Amino acid sequence: MNSIVFTHFEVPDEGAAPLTVALDRLSAWLDAERDTLGRVLAQAGQLQTSSALEALDQLHLEPGHGPAEIRELLEHALALLEVLLGTLRDMSCRQGTISAWGLPGPAAFDMHVRWSGARLEDITITLERALAA
C-alpha cells in the first residue's frame, strides 16, 4: 500500500529553501525513475528524446553554489523535463510494442508509460512551484 508521509522541517535560508527542496526532489526523482523512463523511451524508439534524459544526468553544481546557480540548474532541468513529458503525452501507450501481426503489445509497457508520465508531471510541478516562489 502506498502512503504519504508529511514532514515539516526548518530551513535556515528562507530564500533558498524551495529551490533546495526542489533540487533534492529532482535528485531523488532521477535516482528512482531514470531507468524506467529510459526503458520506455528505448522501447518506443524515442532516441532523440532520450538525449534529454541523458542531459539531465549531466547537470551539476559547482562547490560553493548559491540560490542563483540552483535556480539556473532547475530552470534548465525543467525545460528538459517538459520535453520528456511532451513526448510521453504524444506517445501511444502501445506504439513501441505493436507486433509484426498488428497485435497490441503487452500491458506492462502501457503501465510503464503511464507511471513515467505521472512521475514526470509530479517533478515538473514541483520545479515550477519552487521556481515561482
The 10s digit of each residue's pLDDT in 18-55 is 899 999 999 999 999 998 898 888 878 888 888 999 99
Q: Which residues contact 53 (CB under 8 A, 6 or more apart)?
A: 34, 37, 38, 41, 80, 84
Query: What residue segments make up the domains of the chain, in order of their start?
Result: 17-132
Q: What span, in angstroms and rounded, lies between the C-alpha atoms of 98 and 112?
A: 15
The 10s digit of each residue's pLDDT in 87-125 is 988 876 555 454 444 555 556 777 778 888 999 999 999
Q: DSSP readout, 17-57?
A: HHHHHHHHHHHHHHHHHHHHHHHHHHHTT-HHHHHHHHHHH
Q: Which residue has the cell 528512482?
A: 32
Please tell me the pTM assigned to this model. 0.78
Q: Which residue has the cell 540560490?
A: 67
